[in-house]
Chains A and B, each alone.
Chain A
Amino acid sequence: MKAFFLGILLLSGGLLVARDSNGQDLDKMTLSLQLKNVSLKHALRKIETLTSLPFTYKTSDIAAYTNVSCEGTDIPVSHALDVLLHNTGLGYEQVNSNIIIKKVTVANRPQSVAGVVFDGGVKGRVTGTTGEPVSSATITVEGSNRAVAADNNGMFTLTGLKPGGYKLRISAVGYEPLIAEVLIKDDEVASFDFVLRAGSARMDEVVVTALGITRKERSVGYSTQQISGSKLTVAKEQNVLGSLGGKIAGVQVSGSSSASMGGTQKIQIRGVNSVTGDGEPLVVVDNTPISNTNYASKNGRDYGNLAQDINPEDIESVNVLKGPAASALYGLRGQFGVILITTKKGSKNSKPTVTFSSAATIEKAGNFMPLQNIYGAGSSLNFETVTINGVDTKYVDGSWDESWGPKMDGTPVRQQYSFYRADPNFGKATPFVPHPNNIKEYFVTGRTLNNSISMTGGGQNTTFRLSYNNTDVTGIEPNTYLKRNNLSFSGSMNITPNIVATVDLNYAQNKGQRPSQGYQALGSRNMYQWFERNLDMQKLKQYKYPDGTFYQWNVNDPNSEGVYDDPTPIDWNNPYFDAYENPAHDSRDRTFGDVGLRWTVIPGLSVSGFVRQDGFTQNLDGRNAPGGRGTPSFWIGKYQSKEMNYEFLAQYSREFGDLSLNANLGGNILTQRYDYLQEETQGGFVTPGFYNIANSLERPAVIDYLRKKEVRSAYGSVTLGYKNIYFLDASLRDDISSTLPQNNNSYLYPSVSASAVFSELLKWRPLSYGKARLSFAQAGADITPYLTTGYYNLGQPYGSTFPMEVPDTLNNPNLKPSLGTSYEAGLDLKFFENRLNLSATWYHQNNKNAVLPLDVSGTSGYTRSVINAGNIENHGIELTIGGTPVMTKRFSWTSTFNVSHNTSKIISLYPGLHTYQLDYNRYASVDMFLLANEGEPFGTIVGNGYKRDQKTGQVLLDAKNMPLYESGHKLGNVLPKYTGGWQNTVTWRNFDLSATIDFQSGGRFLSWTKMLAVKSGQAAETAAINDKGKNVRDDPASGGGVRISGMSSITGQLVTTYVAARGYFRNTLGSKIYDPWTEDASYIRLREASLGYTFSRTAIPSFPFKSLNIAFIARNPWMIWQKAPKGVNPAELATGASSLNWLETGQLATARSYGLNLTISF
């Protein structure tokens, strides 16, 4: 039984090279000392430092001697030792280069050194707190170069130690390092078992790098950051990418509200690295690339990004390869970084371990926007009238979806429901009163149940792990849910001692009925935008009358008899109508995994072949039920994706004295096939209420889409090490893609990096580890299929005549892949036995030749021409500071803080082009752009802004003292200046508390919701009390009005005056000026927290389980600080597939979760 993981072999190989050293004559070695009244320990350390002679002693033996002195210049070491040990009862002996200090007894006189063979050692097993073997553990003898790696079962043996007391340092990725004192005797291998506590990810050991190659952290010449799976499941977040938020420097995770239940979590590494704003990292699970597509758009359901199909409970660790330096080996797919996920595995010769965990949380809607409760629907303070049976009657005009109307003072009026024959109040005037909590009342308490069980173990030649997870969520919006099942199996088997077969299989199943986000997309957010403060949510809840008609509030006038002829809503459905009559469904079946063989040809050389697959079938549907706004319709979509990777890899490693060599050579064939069929009914239904495409009144609209792609790759890499201190690394990859022009479809991607573990040279005790690193790399991004040839668009038929059109986008037969080039330098430092660590990285990256549809003058016959263009430069720093400020037997506090700062600049776009339009929005005849401007940072928001006096900067006012505005104002930059997070773990006895804070500084966005809440007269400020004590809606002539200051454009004088609230908020600010709604996205948020207590058999021998942990968990419980106004969440701006978060058109309500988690190990 052997460990086949090359990394481990390498590690043990590398570390086992002990320094070749001969005994030195202590009489001939001299040194100068000025030691006065110091401790013996200090003195010995000083000599150790000056001479590089390793000392071995029992701390207890020397602890008593705190006041020794030895002064002299060029005195022999032997003399110095004699002086220091005088009268201590201690003696010294030299064994090769080691000097052992021990008590001198008559029976144990120092023996003659020559010819005596000492052969002591230590062996044992390293496990985690739940008993799982820690196969990645490294056991290091402190103060020496001796180290060994544990095998798959956590077993290790370290021999050739001289007798004496040693400090062993046991460490592993994802665990707190442990320092153990052991006593080694002659001819005896002492046996110890060590239990490691799961801890913050310390990158001091083995890390997983590109293509899943495990490497010694010290040999890696670029920034790596690894997070253990246990850190990702603290609060049971459903989307694994979301749980990376705030944990990795330089990685910005922007999410959407969890009200969508597993919605979008978007990752951006080191800023925006494409002038088009696109570019998300590749997600890889156990070396299998998986799709992270996002089917959601700004408006509609947020189905989330598909990487959420990974069960977080299965994750052993996540490594983020930040950009080309780390991901160059991914070639065409590596430009925007790679998220490497490694799943948990079983281990050989281990008893089956069963772990069960169960979490139950409740979700509450939060972060409500403050609204006014004085004025109701309408456009003026007077009630409108409608002629009913010849009588002009006061009524609530349903066509006003705003609250600029009369006071809600209880005046009896005909409200919308009174025009429905089936309503109990039909024909009656009822009091016009506010419903202050109408929006809040819409939300319900959601709940999430999460149960998972896993079994892991292994036999002599096999390992396995089997896990199952079930998640059942009901949302905070009525009639929404998500059900998810994850099943996974991983195993390995030694067919022969040299050949091992492995398999990873994952199956995920999702079924959801989610709420809708965005503008006019059947969503709840619209209630902040266009609604009436007088609407009674309890009344709206009874959305269907017994006679089958639907109660809608946003309708045109009743007829002359006071009945709605046609209560079809204009712009907004009754929210309950949307919730219950317009559900949308999504379901997905997904499998991904790999099978492979690895053959160790000779020790040091292995070859392996893998077949990897990721595939899913997704079904979506949606509807617009009869009785709602627009034409009734039903649509379905079936989406199928399949990616296969056929991979070959040869790995070779060898030591040549001080030199180590590690080489990899591989090839890969990738095939992708993606197809979908979307169908939508047209013109309504034959039979209303029957949701089937066959029920379409007209010929249904169909999109039948297929996309195929193939990439052939060859790659190799070499790592050279010298003395385990200096490392040089180089890689090269060639990719040939079917999407590129046939005559120019092969591209090469190189990388070079170097690292030096300089702490080995400095020998400065407080610095336990210090590494400097430097790298250069290039990686690309493939183009989408079918961009290099022309085609026509099929039109919709006119009777039996079928039109066909020349598309507006001009394809380009000369496209090439885009290219990212990066330089990176960094420093990793660990002080005081890892009690403090620091990692800093500087990077500089240029990304060129993005494929973009260039806007060209439509007069050319095309509005867009596909080209390669652009050069965007990003540089920045990433800083991670961590440590364990307090560590006692019962209490420990571990803390990690990371922050990153990125600066971007568009160096060039395209000859003659200085501005590229990234996104565009037109609302109420006002244009708003997101631009990439040459010479500026990426992502400038441009739109209408206040017109200001050029000299004084004062807002200019028109003849009526309303602010003037002009178009083309720069309203800020969309990208944050700083992002980061702060993680803390505190343990006290059996309690453990952990919390993650994430933050962002800078970055702007436009809040449509806030703008419209003001425009529609709902926001609190539209009915506030002014400084004269009058409501701003009162007539300015009688003390009301909004106070406004500025410079009159007519007189040029500064004026402070009062203007009518509706004209100001609704017709000016809310319609024409975007400065007030461009918000700063800075925030500090407590993202997750957990407080747990562990019962274990170690403490209570009669305990029925190995261990049991019960924890109170909270997700997103507290927005500690945000700059944007209440009611808008700057941390939840992600809107599906769109790449940038600059426009909030109706984000879902913030959901806060609280609950309990139970984990049991058997």
Chain B
Amino acid sequence: MRRRFLIIAAFIASVAAPGCKKFSADINVSPNSPTTASNAQLLTAAINYMPVVIEGISGALYTQQWAEKPYTDDSRYISVNFDFSGIYAGPLENLQAILTNKTFNINEGSRNNQLAAARILRAWFFWHMTDRWGDIPYSQALKGNDNLAPKYDAQKDIYYDLLKELAAAAAQIDDGTGVTGDLLYGGDMSKWKKFANSIRALMALRLSKMDPDRGKTELAAAVSGGVFADNSDNAVYVHLADPVNQNYWYYVADVQHRQWYWISKTLTDYMNPLQDPRLPVYADPAPSTGAYAGVPYGLDGDSVAKVTTSKVSWMGKHVRAQNAPCYIVTYAELLLAQAEADKLGWLSGGDADAAQKYNAAVEASVRQWVRNSFKGGVVDDVEKTSYDPNDQGDTTGLGVYLAQPSVTYDPANALKQIAYQRWVHLYMNGYEAWAEWRRTGYPTLTPAPNNNNIPIPRRQGYPSSEPNINSSNYKSAVQAQTGFGGKDDLNGRVWWDKP
């Protein structure tokens, strides 16, 4: 009897004993996800996010490159709050993991090159964000549990630090092996260096109104450091003809079958009379008329319903092709920037150099957009010949176009001409076009009609989650920005957007 109790007691003891608190070491380690990642893989993931940012629709609507039909809410500035948390938690956190990594596999590029590429990309994402929202978390961002509610840094400080970062990153690039996992340049570090300088030059130009001195210095330094010198230098994300890496607009047009986004009448009205050779790439002819006719911008729902589908132009087959390239930063932009810098006296070339750069920019833009590979044709909305950085492009019609009186370089009108060319060139890169519209005031745009006089947005509202989860920092940021008038809406001006 007693022995039986002992058996029971022993059993219970064996279950409850401290020794039984130990499980095999790997029992709570997930077999479903890797516990380590290589820097090359993190770099690829970060680059993958670049087109996600570019292919956002709002910038292209604000600048009236595109128009909506039949749903026109976004064209009428209904959406106020836009989310940036995906950029932080996505590519920036991946880049942060590279930057804080303690080990570097030199088969994935030299340590310096890995760090430099990560810093350049990081700068590009932050630049994109601060231009859209204004002040954003920067110095305290990306620290995980160490700071779950980072403060917002002033755009000025962010700009200065990013300019410094870009210069340092360009300088950090060494002769060691190039980075792997590089979807932009395939590990060609000389191109990364040009990329860093090019971003720095474009950022510098953004300061033209608010901080011209700093802008001038930075732009000159960047240009002399070596910016893009050919379309083959362009930072391009080439989509693939597969569902994972395909063009977002292919997805909208061909998978979702949503005929919601059309070229805007504002843009076709500008391009049509000038016989712009890029227009047939930008848009398809209207089915029943064969003309390039944009959809009138920003009509209300009842009015837009009266626009007959067969009489307007759908987005061009090359820009919606499944394997279309996504242009991130381009040679033509750098030429336009240099032309403007000449004009501003930031560079010393004067009108002669400005005219030369301007003409070269238009040519580079046409060569970029009208590609020889298009002759291979589009089959089921897939380019038969995929993007080749060395494709010199088709300049048919360029001469006629440049000869148009309003296109031909005119020293008196140069800043406007440069800005209009930028607007046309930055098709499919709406946020950059919008930033330049805010800076230069060109093109001249009329807000969506019959819309209670709501003006064209000058920034985007912070994510609607921030007031809840980063409340005090959010509030201070809104108050701190003098151009906001105390409101987090679409009408506030970011620091560099001087009235």
Contacts from A to B (Cβ < 8 Å): 379-380, 384-387, 397, 399, 555-557, 559-560, 568-570, 601-602, 607, 629-631, 648, 650, 665, 667-669, 682-683, 698-699, 704-710, 712-714, 716, 734, 736, 738-740, 742, 745-746, 785-786, 788-799, 801-808, 810, 855-863, 865, 913, 915, 924-925, 927, 959, 1062-1063, 1067
Q: Is the CB of A387 within 8 A of B288?
A: yes
Given A803-B181, A855-B469, also A710-B23 (CB < 8 A): yes
- Least Cβ–Cβ distance between A734 and chain B, in angstroms: 6
Q: Is the CB of A739 within 8 A of B240?
A: no
Given A698-B242, A698-B243, A859-B141, also A806-B94 (CB < 8 A): yes
CA distance A740 to B21 in the complex (A): 10
Q: Is the CB of A857 within 8 A of B137?
A: yes
Q: Is the CB of B45 within 8 A of A804?
A: yes
Across the interface, B35 reaches (CB within 8 A) one of A602, A706, A789, namely: A789
Across the interface, B34 reaches (CB within 8 A) one of A631, A710, A804, namely: A804
- Least Cβ–Cβ distance between B128 and chain A, in angstroms: 15
CA distance A714 to B136 in the complex (A): 53
Across the interface, B30 reaches (CB within 8 A) one of A699, A785, A1062, namely: A785
B209-237 interface code vs A (CB 8 A; 1 in, 0 out): 00000000000000000000000000000
Q: Is the CB of A863 within 8 A of B85?
A: yes
Question: For residues 363 through 393 of chain B, which have their beta carbon under 8 Å from a beta carbon of chain A?
Answer: none
Given A712-B15, A804-B41, A857-B469, also A795-B48 (CB < 8 A): yes
Closest B residue by C-beta to A785: B28
Q: Is the CB of A713 within 8 A of B15?
A: yes
A-B CB contact pairs (8 Å), 17 listed: A387-B310, A555-B257, A560-B288, A570-B256, A682-B242, A704-B32, A708-B27, A742-B23, A785-B28, A796-B245, A801-B181, A857-B470, A858-B85, A859-B136, A860-B141, A860-B147, A860-B148
Q: Is the CB of A803 within 8 A of B12?
A: no
Q: Is the CB of B21 within 8 A of A746?
A: yes
Q: Is the CB of B243 within 8 A of A682?
A: yes
Q: Is the CB of B35 within 8 A of A790?
A: yes
B244-288 interface code vs A (CB 8 A; 1 in, 0 out): 110000000001111100000000000000000000000000011
- B301 at the binding interface (Cβ < 8 Å): yes
CA distance A668 to B242 in the complex (A): 51
Q: A799: which B residues are within 8 A, CB to CB? A: 240
Q: Is the CB of B28 within 8 A of A739?
A: yes
Closest A residue by C-beta to B305: A379
Q: A860: which B residues are within 8 A, CB to CB? A: 88, 141-145, 147-150
- Please tell me the number of chain B residues within 8 Å of chain A, measured between CB atoms: 88
Across the interface, A665 reaches (CB within 8 A) one of B12, B32, B136, B244, namely: B12
B187-198 interface code vs A (CB 8 A; 1 in, 0 out): 000000000000
Q: Is the CB of A858 within 8 A of B310?
A: no
Contacts from B to A (Cβ < 8 Å): 1, 4, 8, 11-12, 15-16, 20-23, 27-38, 40-42, 44-45, 48, 70, 73-74, 78-79, 83-90, 92-94, 96-97, 136-137, 141-145, 147-150, 181, 183, 240, 242-245, 255-259, 287-288, 301-302, 305-306, 308-311, 452, 463-466, 468-470
CA distance A385 to B305 in the complex (A): 12
CA distance A194 to B309 in the complex (A): 83
Closest A residue by C-beta to B468: A915
CA distance A1095 to B149 in the complex (A): 75
Closest A residue by C-beta to B86: A858
Q: B70: which A residues are within 8 A, CB to CB? A: 379, 399
Closest A residue by C-beta to B470: A857
CA distance A913 to B4 in the complex (A): 55
Extra contacts, 4 of them, besides A794-B34, A959-B452 (Cβ < 8 A), are A648-B11, A682-B242, A804-B42, A806-B42
Q: B36: which A residues are within 8 A, CB to CB? A: 792
Q: Is the CB of B464 within 8 A of A927?
A: yes
Q: A559: which B residues are within 8 A, CB to CB? A: 287
CA distance A788 to B306 in the complex (A): 58
Given A560-B310, A927-B464, A1067-B301, also A786-B148 (CB < 8 A): no
Q: A380: which B residues are within 8 A, CB to CB? A: 302, 305-306
Across the interface, B309 reaches (CB within 8 A) one of A557, A714, A796, A803, namely: A557
CA distance A669 to B23 in the complex (A): 12
- Least Cβ–Cβ distance between A393 and chain B, in angstroms: 11
- Least Cβ–Cβ distance between A274 and chain B, in angstroms: 21
Q: B44: which A residues are within 8 A, CB to CB? A: 795, 798, 801-804
Q: Is the CB of B28 within 8 A of A738?
A: yes
Across the interface, A857 reaches (CB within 8 A) one of B8, B37, B150, namely: B150
CA distance A746 to B306 in the complex (A): 69
Closest B residue by C-beta to A859: B137
Q: Is the CB of B20 within 8 A of A556?
A: no
Q: Which 9 pairs across A and B sit closest by C-beta, in order of nearness?
A: A858-B85, A804-B41, A803-B45, A786-B30, A859-B137, A803-B44, A861-B93, A857-B470, A667-B15
Q: A927: which B residues are within 8 A, CB to CB? A: 464
Q: A856: which B residues are within 8 A, CB to CB? A: 148-149, 469
Closest B residue by C-beta to A786: B30
Across the interface, B15 reaches (CB within 8 A) one of A669, A708, A788, A1063, namely: A669
Q: Is the CB of B37 within 8 A of A792?
A: yes
Given A738-B23, A808-B89, also A861-B96 (CB < 8 A): yes
Closest B residue by C-beta to A385: B308
Q: A569: which B residues are within 8 A, CB to CB? A: 257
Closest A residue by C-beta to B98: A806
- Least Cβ–Cβ distance between A1051 and chain B, in angstroms: 16
Q: A669: which B residues are within 8 A, CB to CB? A: 15
Q: B31: which A residues are within 8 A, CB to CB? A: 706
Of B36, B97, B257, most A-chain CB atoms within 10 Å: B257
Q: B35: which A residues are within 8 A, CB to CB? A: 789-792
Across the interface, B183 reaches (CB within 8 A) one of A629, A665, A798, namely: A798
Q: A792: which B residues are within 8 A, CB to CB? A: 33-37
CA distance A1144 to B8 in the complex (A): 54
- Least Cβ–Cβ distance between A332 and chain B, in angstroms: 14
Across the interface, A568 reaches (CB within 8 A) one of B136, B183, B257, B452, namely: B257
Q: B148: which A residues are within 8 A, CB to CB? A: 856-857, 860, 865
Q: Is the CB of B463 within 8 A of A858?
A: yes
Given A698-B242, A736-B20, A857-B469, also A794-B15 (CB < 8 A): no
Across the interface, B245 reaches (CB within 8 A) one of A736, A798, A857, namely: A798
CA distance A600 to B465 in the complex (A): 63
Q: A708: which B residues are within 8 A, CB to CB? A: 27
Q: A707: which B residues are within 8 A, CB to CB? A: 32
CA distance A682 to B48 in the complex (A): 19
CA distance A125 to B308 in the complex (A): 87
Given A742-B21, A810-B144, A857-B149, also A791-B34 (CB < 8 A): yes
Q: A804: which B residues are within 8 A, CB to CB? A: 34, 37-38, 41-42, 44-45
Closest B residue by C-beta to A805: B45
Across the interface, B28 reaches (CB within 8 A) one of A786, A798, A1063, namely: A786
CA distance A810 to B147 in the complex (A): 12
Of B21, B78, B136, B463, most A-chain CB atoms within 10 Å: B21
- Least Cβ–Cβ distance between B239 and chain A, in angstroms: 10
Of A668, A704, A795, most B-chain CB atoms within 10 Å: A795
CA distance A629 to B38 in the complex (A): 38
Q: Is the CB of A789 within 8 A of B30?
A: yes
Across the interface, A925 reaches (CB within 8 A) one of B73, B85, B240, B245, namely: B73
Q: A798: which B residues are within 8 A, CB to CB? A: 44, 48, 183, 240, 244-245
CA distance A602 to B3 in the complex (A): 13
Q: Is the CB of A667 within 8 A of B12?
A: yes
Q: A738: which B residues are within 8 A, CB to CB? A: 23, 27-28
Closest A residue by C-beta to B259: A556
- Least Cβ–Cβ distance between B470 and chain A, in angstroms: 4
Of B22, B94, B244, B302, most A-chain CB atoms within 10 Å: B244
Q: A710: which B residues are within 8 A, CB to CB? A: 23, 27
Of A569, A699, A801, most B-chain CB atoms within 10 Å: A801
- Least Cβ–Cβ distance between B335 and chain A, in angstroms: 30
Given A631-B243, A860-B149, also A793-B12 (CB < 8 A): no
